[in-house]
């Protein structure tokens, strides 16, 4: 018996919607990243984008544990002299509510062209409404995310 290897022509994609209200950021991100990669499918192939589309709503209501709300910092460098910038989690959530979830999921995907392509299948919304009703997404319950 031969091992099945998926290719882009025979990948079937579904749309899922996840409600992030009261979910812990890291646990939500790891489950979403696995779905974007396609690891929940029996036809998973590491070198092919065989994952599904994921819509995450209520990104502004995601939780973090411990002192992360006040002490977690997001750091970057602009590339210029004195270009080091850092912003606290609470300030980031106030300004860009979906960005913390995007960065958490991005960190759990492969760091190559395939990972960047998978990240485009992630749709994030701060509120409970989303614009992808035409795709008829299925509601997805993520285990272990709520407390």
Written as six digits, the tokens of 25 are 């950021």
pLDDT at 143: 79
Q: How confident is the model at residue 144 (pLDDT cuts 50, 70, 90)?
A: low
Instruction: State the CB neighbour count (10 A cutoff) for residue 35.
Output: 23
Are the CB atoms for 38 and 52 separated by under 8 Å? yes
Domains and CATH numbers, the chain: 14-67+96-139 (3.90.1180.10)
- Following DSSP, what letter does each residue of 42-62 receive, concatenated? TT--TTS----EEEEE-GGG-
pLDDT tens-digit profile of 80-101? 999 999 999 999 999 999 999 9
pLDDT of residue 78 exceeding 80: yes
H/E element, 8: none
What residues have CB less than 8 Å from 1, skipping those under 6 apart? none
């Amino acid at each position: 018996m031969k091992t099945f290897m998926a290719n882009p022509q025979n990948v079937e994609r579904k749309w899922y919607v996840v409600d992030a209200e009261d979910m812990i950021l890291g646990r939500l991100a790891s489950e979403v990243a696995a779905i974007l990669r396609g690891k929940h499918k029996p036809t998973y192939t590491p070198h092919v984008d065989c994952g599904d589309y994921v819509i995450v709503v209520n990104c502004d209501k995601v939780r973090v544990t411990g002192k992360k709300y006040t002490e977690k910092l997001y750091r970057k460098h602009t590339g210029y002299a004195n270009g080091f910038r850092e912003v606290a989690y609470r300030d980031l959530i106030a300004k860009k509510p979906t960005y913390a979830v995007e960065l958490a999921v991005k960190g759990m995907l492969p760091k190559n062209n395939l990972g960047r392509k998978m990240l485009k299948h992630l749709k994030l919304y701060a509120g409970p409404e989303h614009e992808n009703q035409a795709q008829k997404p299925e509601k997805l319950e993520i285990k272990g995310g709520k407390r």
